[in-house]
Structure 1
Amino acid sequence: MQKIPVKLAAPGMKLAKPVTRENGMVVIAEGAELSETLISRLEQMKIERIMVQGNPLDLDGSGNSSWSKRAERLDNLFRRYKKDRWMTRVKGFFKEYFELKAAEQKAAEEAERLAEEKARAEAEAAALEAENGDGEK
């Protein structure tokens, strides 16, 4: 089970817990499979995070993002509070937040890279088509 931002949800993922509104009303039942439509509805309802089955996203903090580096520094920053259970909880909240932000940043970079590749492929296809079209005339 993994808590992820709705921005990183993908079709085919299944909910590990029901999605509820602030008043406790269930919006989407546990076990429901996400689709593009369902994800866009969650975004429209301003739901930020959902619990999904398994661990579909790599949130281990690996990578070179500033968020990953912040998560790595937490052990050092909280080294004097190892026996303080409240500070341990605060550290856990920060770690979860930084890992989510790192995964979000990684996904955004990947989406940008894929968009650039697609645009480049379309431009090459258009140039090839124009070249073939000129040769026929």
Structure 2
Amino acid sequence: MQKIPVNLAAPGMKLAKPVTRENGMVVLAEGLELTEGIINKLQSMNVERIVVQGNPVDMGDAGNSSWAQKSERLDYLFRRYSRDKWMFRVKGFFREYFNLKAAAQKAEEEAERLAQEQAAAEAAEAEAAENGGEA
């Protein structure tokens, strides 16, 4: 089970927990398989995070983003509060937030890289078609 930002959801993932409104009304049931339409609907409803089965998304734990580095630094920052249960919870909230931000940052970078690759491939195809058309 993994809590992920909706913008990292992909068709085929299954909900591990139901999606509910603020008043507790269930919008989507546990076990529902996500489709592109459902993901778009969640985004239009301003749902920020969902809980999916398994661990399908790399949440940026590799330490290659500033958000991942902030998450790793939490143990040092909270070192004086190791016996305080409330500060332990606060640290957990920060860690979850930083991990979600790191995953979103990584997904955005990957999407940008794929878009650049696709644009380069389309430009190469257009150039090849142009050169082939002149021959």
Runs of 4 or more consecutive aligned structure 1 residues displaced over 4 Å after TM superposition: none
1:55 alignment partner in structure 2: 55
Partner secondary structure for residue 61 of structure 1: coil
Distance 1:82 1:68 in 2: 21
Structure 2 unaligned blocks of 5 or more: none
2:19 alignment partner in structure 1: 19
TM-superposed CA distance for 1:120, in Å, is 0.2
Distance 1:63 1:69 in 2: 6
Distance 1:107 1:36 in 2: 17
Measured against aligned partners, the alpha-carbon deviations of 1:102-122 in whole angstroms (never above 9, x if no partner) come to 010000000000000000000
Q: How does 1:1-137 map to 2 (within 5 A)?
A: 1-59=1-59, 61-135=61-135
The number of residues matched between the two structures is: 135
Distance 1:69 1:87 in 2: 20
Structure 1 unaligned blocks of 5 or more: none
**TM-score, L = length of structure 2:** 0.98
Q: Which amino acid aligns with 2:10?
A: A
Q: What's the % identity of the aligned pairs?
A: 67
Aligned alpha-carbon RMSD (Å): 0.8
